[in-house]
Amino acid sequence: MRIPSIVLVIACLAGQATAAWAGGRSLQLQARRVQAPQLELTSVQVDARAGTDAGELQLRVERLRSAVLALDGALDFRCTLRRDDTALACAGPLRMGGAGEAVLALRWSGQQLQLQLTRAATRVSLDLPLGGGPSRATAQALPLDWLADALAQQWRGGRVRGGVLDGTLELGEDGALQVDGSVQGLDLASHDGSLMLRGVDVRGRVGYGGPAATPRLDAQLQLARGRLGLGVLQAQLPEAPAAATIEAERRDDGSWQVARFAFDDPAALMFEASAQVEPGALAPLRELRVDSARIVFPLARERYLQGVLAAHDLSGLVLAGEVSASLDADARGLVRLAARTPRLDVQWPAHALAVQGLRGGIDWRRSGQGTPQPLAWRHARIGAVTVEALHSRWQVRDAAWHLRGPLQARLLGGRVEAQELVLRAPGTALPWFTGQLALRGVGYDAADGSIGAAGVNLDASLQLDGALAAPHVLAQAQLRGGQYLAGALYVELPPTPVTARLDAILARERWDIAALEWKDPGVLEFSARAQWAAPLPSVPTLALDLQRVDLARALPRYAAAWAAARGYPHLRASGRLRGTLTREEGRVRAFGLTAEAVELIDEDGRFQLHGLDGAVAWDARVVPAPTTLGWRGIEIYKVPFGPARALLRADQDALRLEQPLAVDVFGGKFNLRKFVAQPASPRGDRYEASFTIIQAQLPQMSAAFGWPVFPGNLSGGVPEIEFVGDRIEFHGGLDLYLFDGHLGVNTMSLERPFGSAPALGANIHFEDFDLEQLTSAFSFGSMSGRLYGTINDLRLLDWSTVAFDAWLRTKGGGRMSYTAVDDITGISSGAPLLQNLALKLVNTFGFSRLGLRCRLRDQVCTMGGIEPLPAQVGPDSLGARGYAIVEGAGVPRLDIVGHRRHVDWPTLLRRLQQATQGQSPVIE
């Protein structure tokens, strides 16, 4: 609605018509075009007709255009002129284009022209002096959107969208302007969002005047409700009015000098400030001085500071308490900041930070020195780390915070002391943290128990620079004693100094370690470079230089817990190691290892390594020189291998045994015919080998394993073994020759051979074993004949049998002693067969066939004999149909029949042990 702007136009056109009627004359005026600054009228008609006591006035304009008043359209106004004792008056309807209809009243007293526009509840009055003096305007319930287009012409950077105005305006002859009144629900915004008001109630007085080049602005305002936005400052104004005062003057250079800018919201924010502003500049603020400010949290945050905190990634920061402050700033930024708090509580959940009872002050200067200030807190928590009461004193020198004197606090059950701390704002070329730290008796335990430390004593220098999200860390530390836990790694350091150095960029999702050095003199010394990125569980890029490892001291100090977690709780070692390792893109690219007099013993009996000496090297990029690696002896699961020295040659694909290696074993030879290591295999670390065993003496083997003494020797071999990860596959089977027969093992695999709970799977077959040789080795009744057998689907877990399907049988018959008869029947049924004294007089019995079967599942053996097991085997019953184990031949003929189909596996093992040790089976 543009009707209030029309009043200014009508005042110009109606003035002459009213003056003519007042003189008793009639006036008719027609103009094709009337043009004035900011105003253009087309086809204008003015008709004033005089009467005795009354007259008529009619004004028509075919088109009225004014950019400054945002007018463009036809105008039609007519009224009846009347005279009273002091003035002429005229009132009538006013129509302007599509703006609707209103009532316009005019009153002319010779020296004064008064106009009043009324539409519904809105009333606008103008008092225009014709003989000089100030002009006044009064508005009642005036919607500001009526003035939106006109104001948009004057404020090209913004738009008024709403609000209702009640107040007065006075314009002096010198151009001075005074506004007194209120606006309810003011809604306006600049096009760039730097200024915004939404539903704000404004009440107060504004004055604007003075010389045109250097006008002055004075305002006393009350602001309530709604939202106020000034750049990142987003305020939610309170229900109770907050007072704002502005005193400003424009200078000759076009800048504004704000002598006073005061704001008073007693419950949240109060300040007194002055400033110099250059509106047209990219950085409008030239100077700012806040002499006194009082900020009360959390209300100040809720009402005024949420946008500021969000702009600095501090939206999760929660504050409670009071802060008083003063500051100076210029176009370059902050010059000085002084602040004090009697108590402030800080919580930052996103960073697991909480500080209670923060008190003290700061005196920060961009250059020069500030006054030293105390700073303390009652209690603080950073993550799972608690820091009790802390007292410190700081001084700012050239924008950097310097700790005055030592800083001491209780931390994690111990104490921390800091000295020479210097803090700076990030983003400069200088480090934003440097200092010396000392920890005494500190301990820590993560909630899940995966990380911990106790008795930590550390002296360190620390420097941080770069971005906060990815700080560049330079640290040097000296540690004395303490225990440290990280996953399966447990380290107990000595009381003598251990030094460490770190140079790294540590972001949340990526670590770039340029240098990591560790020196435990004479025990463990290494340096490394590495890169790691989440969520990878391992380090894809690594360059490790292992300069010295004294195994006798390094193993218990650094690796005992790690080895125990992998199934080696009783590992003992001595000797020295040196080596290098390079990983790129998650794969090994090079390694080297040098051993000197290394002894490695698993006291649980799985392996022993004696006198390891020599070197091994491989590089995917270059071909290293051949190396040799030798030992005095090796023992694997009680199998002793004699001394040997291997010649190893590497190429870019693999590390190979240059020539076959012959090693003494059980009085025979173990010939390692092939060994190939492929560290860069796409399937991971991969090893291949093949070997033969020649004339290993079974009596020596029997003694080593605690077996009955077997006669003869053992020969055989495996054409190919493949070791990938922690699994060994025997390709092509294992062939052994013993008891004048052959034993073959195929589809054999072994998992975790030296780790916890090794698992073995295999299929075994043997043929043409001499029963006489076999039984003579045990205290078992003697038998003759040839034995054949299969043990399929054999499964061992932690070297205990958990499953198999076995079938033992003879071909061509044979003979057995009466002791063998009792042993066989005792194994199958638990009770001896030969109770008849007459039968005991017979030394041997002939048999044509012998067969025994056992299918082990869930610690129960399902038994069978010569004939295959039936498809369904019901519950055991002594009266049930039995199964033939021995089919007799000759006179006297003796058949052995089993009756129990289901036998407890531990019971069966006990019977076998009793039979082979010459004891009579126990009848249960």
Residue from 362, 401, 357, 396 nearest 376 by CA: 357
If one compares 218 and 56, the residue with the highest pLDDT of the two is 218
pLDDT of residue 172 exceeding 80: yes
Q: Amino acid letter at 74? A: A
What pLDDT shows up at residue 389?
87
pLDDT of residue 329 exceeding 50: yes
**Is the distance from CB of 757 to CB of 732 less than 8 angstroms?**
no
pLDDT of residue 2 exceeding 50: no
* pLDDT tens digits for range 294-328: 999 999 999 998 888 888 788 889 999 999 999 99
Res. 922 pLDDT band, cuts 50 70 90: very low
Helix/strand/coil for 299: helix
Q: How far is CA 594 from the centre of its chain?
A: 39
Tell the burial category of 872 from Cβ atoms under 10 Å away from its Cβ (0-12, 13-18, 19+): exposed
The pLDDT > 90 percentage for the chain reads: 39
* pLDDT tens digits for range 566-609: 888 999 999 999 999 998 888 888 999 999 999 999 998 889 99
Average of per-residue pLDDT across 847-854? 91
If one compares 265 and 911, the residue with the highest pLDDT of the two is 265
pTM recorded for the entire structure: 0.67
pLDDT of residue 916 exceeding 70: no
For residues 268 and 702, give the distance between their C-alpha atoms in angstroms, rounded to a whole number: 91
What pLDDT shows up at residue 150?
65
pLDDT of residue 5 exceeding 50: no
**Is the distance from CB of 344 to CB of 358 less than 8 angstroms?**
yes
Mean pLDDT for the chain?
85
* pLDDT tens digits for range 697-713: 988 888 887 777 777 78
- Phi, psi of 180, rounded to the nearest 5 degrees: -140, 120
Average of per-residue pLDDT across 245-274? 92
Average of per-residue pLDDT across 217-243? 89
What pLDDT shows up at residue 924?
35
Res. 16 pLDDT band, cuts 50 70 90: low
What pLDDT shows up at residue 919?
46
For every residue of 907-918, DSSP letters joined together read HHHHHHHHHHTT
* Torsion (CA) 126, 130, 133, 138 in degrees, nearest 10: 0
What pLDDT shows up at residue 228?
87
What pLDDT shows up at residue 23?
55
What pLDDT shows up at residue 299?
94
What pLDDT shows up at residue 274?
93
For residues 149 and 140, give the distance between their C-alpha atoms in angstroms, rounded to a whole number: 20
Which ranges in 756-872 belong to alpha helices (H)? 771-776, 818-829, 837-840
Helix/strand/coil for 351: helix
If one compares 685 and 8, the residue with the highest pLDDT of the two is 685
Average of per-residue pLDDT across 433-453? 88
**Is the distance from CB of 584 to CB of 539 less than 8 angstroms?**
no
703: part of which helix (H) or strand (E)?
Answer: helix 698-705
Average of per-residue pLDDT across 28-33? 85
What pLDDT shows up at residue 52?
57
The pLDDT > 70 percentage for the chain reads: 88
* pLDDT tens digits for range 788-798: 999 999 998 88
Average of per-residue pLDDT across 350-379? 91
**Is the distance from CB of 424 to CB of 400 less than 8 angstroms?**
yes
pLDDT of residue 682 exceeding 70: no
Average of per-residue pLDDT across 134-158? 78
28: part of which helix (H) or strand (E)?
Answer: strand 27-36
Q: Determine the straight-line distance between the first and last CA of the chain, rounded to whole angstroms.
A: 113
Residue carrying the six token digits 């006013």: 94
pLDDT of residue 620 exceeding 70: yes
What pLDDT shows up at residue 51?
64
* pLDDT tens digits for range 467-511: 888 899 999 999 999 999 988 889 999 999 999 999 999 888 889
If one compares 558 and 174, the residue with the highest pLDDT of the two is 558
pLDDT of residue 21 exceeding 60: no
